[in-house]
């Protein structure tokens, strides 16, 4: 009889403990959850850099980038050991792309000069800008790649005397015109583009241009949809815990409580 009571007590305790752990222990605690992740932008040298966060492993980074960056490549690019040992705040090179150079043969964005007017018009020029969806990432717009709306482009001269901002329009380039800065005085300018949320650039977002009277300059910027990792609604509501584990935990707690009740009741009767 005494052995049966000890066994029943251990069973009740085990059920209660297991239920508690299933409800309160996060699932996949080694991989931080996040609502979204944008692919890092290449730096001036064309390197895509990722800063290691607490809990990261090479495998979690591999999953974060949707299996596009092999672990072997991470090891080779960063001179890591065969176990791919990384540390928090360490900067990892994940890939290298061709950096932007301001030469006519370099990648987009490109500045092309239209036919100048025979005589300068009041010493000013026109600078037109387009932002297109670079689906294949080759930095060249194809017929199936349309303009993107919601980009914010700014032009500023280095003297600080001229500054304007416009928003890009979207649609078929055959039907939609680029946005243009009118009456831009001669001088050296910086042109910068802010892309819509959810996109990553495939070209440089900043370019220096020289404006001469009578010029019509056209600048193309490009971006493509960014990689994202989205939590399900169920995970957000349960604090990142699996609904199945939560339900099992509640059932175990209920079962343990019921056994405890009947055990105490039977002892009181005896």
pLDDT tens, position by position, 182-224 = 999 998 998 889 989 889 998 888 888 988 888 889 998 999 9
pTM of this structure: 0.42
Q: pLDDT band at 232, cuts 50/70/90?
A: very low
Range with lowest mean pLDDT among 46-50, 55-59, 120-124, 135-139: 120-124
Residue 94 has a pLDDT of: 83
Burial of 132 (0-12, 13-18, 19+ CB in 10 A): buried
Mean confidence (pLDDT) of the chain: 75
Range with lowest mean pLDDT among 22-31, 58-67, 148-157: 22-31
Q: pLDDT band at 121, cuts 50/70/90?
A: very low
- Any residues with CB less than 8 A from the CB of 149 and at least 6 apart, and which? 167, 168, 169, 170, 171, 196
Segment 51-61 mean pLDDT? 86
Range with lowest mean pLDDT among 51-65, 97-111, 143-157, 196-210: 97-111
What percent of the chain has pLDDT above 90?
Answer: 14
Residue 133 has pLDDT above 80, yes or no: yes
Residue 256 has pLDDT above 60, yes or no: yes
Residue 254 has a pLDDT of: 72
Q: May I ask the CATH architecture of the domain 111-225?
A: Sandwich (2.60)
1-7 own/partner pairs: CB under 8 Å, 24+ apart: 5/263, 5/267
CATH code at 34-99: 3.10.350.10
Segment 43-59 mean pLDDT? 82
Residue 167 has a pLDDT of: 92
Angle at 59 between CA 58 and CA 65, to 5 degrees: 90
As beta bridge partners, residue 151 has none
Residue 144 has pLDDT above 70, yes or no: yes
Q: Which residue has the tokens 């819509």?
A: 196
Angle at 25 between CA 24 and CA 29, to 5 degrees: 140
Residue 138 has a pLDDT of: 83
CB 177 within 8 Å of CB 130: no
Residue 174 or 180, more confident: 180
Residue 118 has a pLDDT of: 46
Segment 238-244 mean pLDDT? 55
């Amino acid at each position: 009889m005494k052995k049966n009571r000890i066994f029943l007590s251990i069973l009740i305790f085990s059920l209660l403990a297991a239920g508690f752990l299933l409800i309160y222990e996060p699932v996949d605690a080694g991989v931080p959850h996040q609502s979204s992740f944008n692919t890092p932008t290449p730096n001036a040298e064309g390197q895509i850099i990722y800063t290691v966060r607490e809990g990261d492993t090479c495998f979690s980074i591999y999953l974060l980038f949707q299996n596009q960056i092999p672990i072997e490549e991470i090891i080779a690019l960063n001179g890591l050991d065969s176990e791919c040992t990384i540390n928090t705040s360490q900067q990892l090179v994940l890939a290298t792309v061709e950096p932007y150079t301001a030469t006519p043969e370099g990648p987009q964005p490109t500045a092309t000069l239209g036919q100048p007017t025979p005589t300068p018009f009041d010493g000013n020029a026109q600078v037109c800008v387009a932002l297109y969806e670079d689906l294949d990432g080759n930095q060249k717009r194809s017929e199936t790649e349309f303009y993107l709306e919601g980009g914010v482009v700014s032009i500023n001269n280095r003297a600080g005397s001229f500054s304007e901002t416009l928003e890009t329009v979207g649609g078929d380039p055959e039907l939609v015109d680029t946005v243009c800065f009118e009456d831009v005085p001669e001088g050296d300018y910086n042109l910068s583009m802010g892309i819509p949320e959810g996109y990553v650039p495939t070209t440089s977002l900043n370019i220096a241009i020289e404006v001469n009277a009578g010029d019509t300059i056209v600048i193309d910027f490009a971006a493509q949809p960014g990689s994202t990792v989205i939590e399900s609604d169920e995970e957000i509501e349960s604090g990142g815990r699996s609904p199945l584990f939560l339900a099992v935990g509640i059932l175990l707690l209920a079962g343990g409580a019921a056994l405890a009740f009947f055990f105490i009741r039977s002892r009181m009767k005896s």
